[in-house]
Amino acid sequence: MAAELFKARKKFVELVSKDVIKQLLDDIYDDGIVNEGEKDSILEENVSRTDKARSLIDTVRRKGDEASRKMIAHLQNRDATLYSELGLSCSQPAKPAAAPIQEQGWSTTLISSTEDFWREKQNDTSIYPVTKDSIKSRVALLITNIKFTDERWNRNGAEKDEENMEKQLNSLGYEVVKHTNLTGKAIDDAVIEFSKHPKLKGTDSVLVVLMSHGKLGAVLGVEWKEGTSGDETPDVFPIDNIYKHLGSERCPALLNKPKIIVIQACRGEKEGSVLIKDGPTSALACDDMNSSSENFEEDNLRFVHKEKDFISLLSCTPDTVSYRNRVLGSILIQYLAEVSNTFAHKDDIEELFRKVMQRFEDFSIQAKRQMPTKDRCSLTRRFYFFPGL
């Protein structure tokens, strides 16, 4: 079916009307083939009718045969003359292949894990332990910078990100510690304060979500100024500080527990085109020991890994930008919610992050591209959220 759309692409772009484009977008949105952000992007980011048509057909055909078949069927209903002229057929294939992730409908609410699924994982030593009591102690840190001292840097649409992430974290069972519009130092202070939260002893995991402008290795505070002079300290929060403050030495309450980090921010300015500018990354710290082992007695002293049980999802690759819809919020946060709602009941965190990344294979607004990256992963087991228990 995708091949049929490709063959009809040139004529479709030439002949389809604006009204039919809008109708088809409504149809495939209702089918779950595109989300609201993709729908709006096709309409708003493409000026001419032909560009809208080209973006529509390319988006659908990249999502596979089933998505293409559905759009062809909608075209038959909306414009039978054009359908006939393009020589299309919407017949169901005799033996459809297993639908890839992009072809499935996305749930708008979180699907709950079953009691049986949770029980079968309880004795699996390759999985981080999660009990019903530990779920009750879950806590997350959410920091969103929206309004900046220099208003040119205000992050329009980030209010939606904050709202979406708080809702998502709550639905996964996390009490949310929320901060908005912080300087770099205040972000650092908030992470330190979070590392002392009384619930950390009983929790099975923590989530830290930072959303702001950024550059390679840092998130920008709200007082950041472009072109900071040598005698001024730039208002930034070094990403590496998260790992220091929540690592084994400074936060023993989280020892051997998953620490999940999500950062929506640019990591540079390459590949222009600004919906937003946002960013992070980090260099792996090394542990330098000069003392010989004979100087230590086997008493109450034991070595633990300085950094373990972390996983991060960064919104883009190094030196590049990430994109935010001015109304709907960041593309990463939209996709993260869709994937979490649909698959958190049965997939572990690494698989969820992979599926978010897979969603970006089909993300394109004209020449714009974005690819999130998993970073600094030191998880030694699989972690499941078991939502709804």
Cα distances from 55 to residues 30, 218, 250, 359, 366, in angstroms, run: 18, 34, 50, 16, 8
State the Cα–Cα distance between residues 254 and 41, nearest whole angstrom: 41
- Say which DSSP state 178 is in: E
Whether the Cβ atoms of residue 343 and residue 351 lie closer than 8 Å to each other: yes
Cα distances from 346 to residues 121, 138, 288, 372, in angstroms, run: 11, 19, 40, 22
- Catalytic residue flag (residue 213): yes
The torsion angles phi and psi of 32, rounded to 5 degrees, stand at 80, 15
- Catalytic residue flag (residue 345): no
Own/partner pairs, 101-104, CB within 8 angstroms, 24+ separation: 101/355, 101/358, 101/359, 102/62, 102/63, 102/64, 102/67, 102/358, 102/359, 102/361, 102/362, 103/33, 103/63, 103/64, 103/65, 103/66, 103/67, 104/32, 104/342
Catalytic residue among 74, 266, 316, 345: 266
The torsion angles phi and psi of 318, rounded to 5 degrees, stand at -55, 140
Whether the Cβ atoms of residue 263 and residue 314 lie closer than 8 Å to each other: yes
Catalytic residue among 213, 245, 316, 345: 213
Instruction: Give 10-24 as a DSSP string.
Output: HHHHHH--HHHHHHH
Report residue 322 as tokens.
């990430």
Whether the Cβ atoms of residue 379 and residue 126 lie closer than 8 Å to each other: no
Question: What residues are annotated to the active site?
Answer: 213, 266
